[in-house]
Amino acid sequence: MRICKIALLFVTVVTLSSCASSYKMINPASLSYNSANESNGVLFEYKYGLLEKKYQKKELKKGVRLVAIKITNNSGRDLTFGGDAKLAFGNASEIQVLDNERVFKTLKQSAASYLWYLLLTPVSFQSTTADSYGEKETNSTPIGLVIGPGLTASNMITVAISNKNFKQELLEYNINGTVIKDGETKYGLIGIQTENFDALKLIID
């Protein structure tokens, strides 16, 4: 009986710590930006640390940082992000901004990783009782038939919805190749290949 309880507790802990994560919308236009610099009449603001839980772990593991950016153009002319307005590290080395589709594929959650919950299907909870004559009787409840498929389905649904929201926001704030007119402010979500939270700046040609 004690072994069954320990096993059930172990399964519960593993299950709770391995669940899929929901995606929290970033909405770059509503953020408070903590880093900024200005050059040639263009104010460039940015912020790291946007993702949470599973997405954040992927970001750290893959060495791809998602960055929210805000560009206010008062240069007196129209600019194109990635054209005459290029992203660079603080040391002026130009950054190759990743395609947002690649960012999505790199950082998205994997639905297939939750199929292992089906291995819980054979799990049963056993209890022992004694009748009025003192004879022991063991009862088995196949809880795995509910837990295994149930957890698999719920996690895969969560992954599908979360990834859909993540991809949708990346598309909505895809600023690569966007024209920023004089006097206009644009927001974007970009992915860059770096292990660190490097200082960024915008170089205007």
Q: What pLDDT is attached to residue 110? A: 81
How far is residue 56's CA from residue 59's CA, in Å, rounded to a whole number? 5
Residue 33 covered by a domain? yes
Residue 132 covered by a domain? no
pTM of the model: 0.77
What are 8-12's contacts with CB under 8 Å, separation 24+?
Answer: 8/125, 11/120, 11/123, 11/147
Residue 128 covered by a domain? no
Residue 200 covered by a domain? yes
Residue 183 covered by a domain? yes
**86-140 pLDDT per residue, tens:** 999 988 788 999 999 999 999 999 865 655 555 666 666 666 666 666 667 676 6
Q: How many domains does the chain have?
A: 1
Planar angle of CA 84, 50, 68, nearest 5 degrees:
15
Q: Phi/psi at 141 (nearest 5 deg)?
A: -115, 120
Domain extent at residue 37: 2-122+150-204
Residue 94 covered by a domain? yes
Residue 142 covered by a domain? no
For tokens 């929210």, the residue is 68
The total number of residues written for the chain in this structure? 205
